[in-house]
Every structure is written in structure tokens, then in C-alpha cells.
Amino acid sequence: QDLDAPFATQCRDPEIAASQPRENAAFVMLARNSEINEARNTIQSIEKQFNQWFHYPVVFLNNEEWDPAFIRAMNQSVSGGAIFDVIPKEDWSYPEWIDPEQARASMAEQQKNGVWNGGKESYHHMCRFYSGTFYAHKALQKYKWYWRLEPGVRFTCALTYDPFVEMACHNKSYGYTIALWEEPNTCPSLFRAVDDFRVHINLPRTPAWNAMMDQTWQPWPIRKLKAWLNKDHVNRQGERWNLCHYWSNFEIADLDFFRGEAYQGLFRHLDRLGGFYYERWGDAPVHSLAVHMLLPPDRLHHFSDIGYHHEPFFQCPGNAPGGQLPGNKALGNGEWSSESPGAIGCRCQCPDLRRRNNRGICLA
Ligand code: GDP
Ligand code: MN
């Protein structure tokens, strides 16, 4: 039996699903005023494929004041209401223990070394924000669940059930679509920092944590020696992170987990070390290492049934259990190209809304 099967394998009646008890949830999109067209495209896509039935609100966040034109455009596109808020200055600037001079010098160095977005100060602030202070933002206080959106992403299949309800029902905390290997030069000391925190709070290693280790890594004595020579992505036991992480531009997750003491303690530990600036730690590997360290594996969910595209990768639900069609090679995940299945349209679990079946709230 597949322990992480999709919550549904065919069409539901979305109107019936939407009329059942719901969760306390919102979409969240961080965006710049200049991303108005891309943001509108994202909203139109999620409305078409899901929110036209479910009407969840969208919280828009920005580090600057919102442009009235942006507000107008989004208000015209959402079906469940839009909230516009601004990120407090202190959550989008250097914490007091970081020396801005030293941080900027380090960013220039990252830029020179080809670290992805390493030279962009605002990108570092963004990653730090999404790693920690995002969860405490006042506009999110009243919600239990969030679904993260970004400008310029596309949803390529109808989603006819409520993923928040299913997450709650199945005791899930973190949902993702795409998993990737992190760029090694963005975060050489991150894995050790996270594992140090684990040891500090006396948290035993779990199967989910072990799943983050590189299984091809050397046996013990060689490992120790190599770790002594190069600490990058290696903990104090000489184990190496496999660089696996969930792509955080898509997330459906439990805010209470991230607001909780364990996660926030980890964030404070990481923030103190300065790797959001002296390196270019991304929020994706921070979230991923955290959920693997702090949660049992059955609290994570792969939304293999959600068709999703964020440049340059996509997920088509064809390789979802039950969704695989024999002989059709144009299914699955991969790098985007004009021949990608998503470019023509994913082969979806629910390609045709007229084929309705099954009506229950918890699809277990
Ligand atoms: P990538 O997906 O890693 O290439 O990064 P993006 O450029 O998509 O940025 C990730 C998210 O943060 C998107 O929602 C962006 O709109 C948002 N973002 C990035 N930088 C800024 C910024 O300086 N200001 C604001 N308001 N949003 C930003
Ligand atoms: Mn993006």
C-alpha cells in the first residue's frame, strides 16, 4: 500500500466538497508591485483550477507599500477576497548582530563565485523572511493553514477537493509538489548548523532525518577524514546531506508547526549564525531540513496529483499512483521545454469535470 497516495484519484464534485466543513486557511503571495501581470496570471490560474469553487482568501505581502494599481488588479481577479499587507522593516533588514558591511562584502564574493542570487541583497532578505518571520506576520495570525503562491506560476489540472481539509484529516503538516537537489554553493554550512541544533535540543535522529543523508557517502574512517578536511554539507558525525529539498515556491502547510517553539528555536539558531547573509541559505532547504528533523515522515505529503509549473520545472500528475497511463512517455516531472507535457497540458487525474464521482469530505 502506498503510504502517501494522493487524496483523490479522480474528479470530485467541487461544489459538494466546497459545501462541506472547511479549514481556516489562506493563500499567501509575496510579490513586488512590478510583478502585477505575473501575479494576476497566478491568481487566474488558481481560480480557474481550484478557487472558483472554494473561495479561499489571498494574503498579499510586500516589503514596500502596495501600488493602488496592483490592489485593483488583484481585487478584480480573486473570488475569496484579498488582503494587502506590508512586511515590518525589521523583518526585511539585517538583524542587529549582522554587520551590513561584512554581509555586503560576502554577497559580492558570492556573486563573484556564481552563487545563484547570492549578489542580490533583497533575495537574502526574502529567504530570511520566508524562513522565519513570515509565520509571525500579523496578517497570518488568524489562519491555521497557508498555501504559498508566487507570481508567474501555473496550475495545470483541476483540483476538485479541498487540500486543507485533507491535510487536516490525514494529520499532515507539510505538502509539496517538486523535490530537487539544492545548489551546493548556496548553503555549505547549513546542514551542520541544523544538525547542531538537533543535538543541542537532544532530539534523536529519526528515519525522516536519516533520509536526508547521502547514502553513497564513504564508510566511517574515510568519512571522518573527509569531513575534517571539508565541512560543507557534513555534520559532526561526518554524515553528508544529500542536498534534497522541497521547492518552497509551492507549499501547503500548517502555520502552527512553523510558529511552534521547535521550528522557531531552529530559526533563531540559524539566524544567529548569519548564514542568510554570509551564505545564501534558501527558505526551501531550511523548511525541508526542519520538517525532516522535527516531524515523522507520515506528516509530509507529496501532492503528486497537482499539476504545477514554476520556471524552469514542472510536475505533471501522470506519475501519481493510479494516474500512470501505460505507454505514455509524456508524463511526469522534469525540466520545462516546449515539448514538456505541461506545455501542451498535463494528463490530469481530473481532466474532465463532467466525470464526477465520490462525494465525501475525508477521502480516506
Ligand atoms: P526564485 O523563485 O527563487 O527565482 O525567486 P523569486 O524571484 O520568484 O522570489 C521568490 C518570491 O519572493 C516571489 O514571490 C517574489 O515575488 C518574492 N520576492 C523576491 N524578492 C522580492 C522583493 O525584493 N520584494 C518583494 N516584495 N518580493 C520579493
Ligand atoms: Mn519564483
Whether 325 shows a pLDDT value over 60: the answer reads: no
The pLDDT tens digits of the residues spanning 98-143 come to: 999 999 999 999 999 999 999 999 999 999 999 999 999 999 999 9
Phi, psi at 115, each rounded to 5°: -70, 125
* Per-residue model confidence (pLDDT) at position 355: 39
* Per-residue model confidence (pLDDT) at position 351: 63
Give the whole-angstrom CA distance, residue 281 versus residue 28.
21
Atom of ligand 1 nearest to the CA of 32: 26
Quickly list DSSP for 266-279. Answer: HHHHHHHHTHHHHS
**Nearest alpha carbon, ligand 1 atom 23:** 122
- The residues that are catalytic are 251
Distance 226 CA to ligand 1 centre (A): 36
**Nearest alpha carbon, ligand 1 atom 5:** 123
C-alpha torsion angle, residues 118, 119, 124, 125 (rounded to 10): -170
30 lines ligand 1 (CB under 6 A): yes
Host H or E run for residue 253: strand 251-254
Give the whole-angstrom CA distance, residue 245 versus residue 32.
25
For the full predicted model, state whether its pTM sits above 0.90: yes
Dihedral sign for Cα atoms in the order 316, 321, 325, 329: positive
For the chain, give every domain's residue range.
1-87+137-173+302-364
The residue that leads in pLDDT, 349 or 275, is: 275
The residue behind cell 522557531 is 264
| DSSP type of residue 240 | B
Give the whole-angstrom CA distance, residue 198 versus residue 215.
20
294, 283, 206, 295: which is closest to 251 by C-alpha? 283
For the residues 8-23, what does the mean pLDDT come to?
89
103 burial type by CB count under 10 A (0-12 exposed, 13-18 middle, 19+ buried):
middle
Ligand nearest to the CA of 39: 1
CA 224 vs CA 195, 209, 218, 228, 229: distances in Å: 16, 19, 9, 6, 9
Whether 357 shows a pLDDT value over 70: the answer reads: no
The pLDDT tens digits of the residues spanning 204-237 come to: 999 899 999 988 777 778 888 888 889 999 999 8
Range of weakest confidence among 4-13, 158-167, 191-200: 4-13
Give the whole-angstrom CA distance, residue 155 versus residue 175.
15
Whether 251 shows a pLDDT value over 70: the answer reads: yes
* Per-residue model confidence (pLDDT) at position 202: 97
For the residues 40-55, what does the mean pLDDT come to?
96
Q: Tell me the average pLDDT of the chain.
A: 89
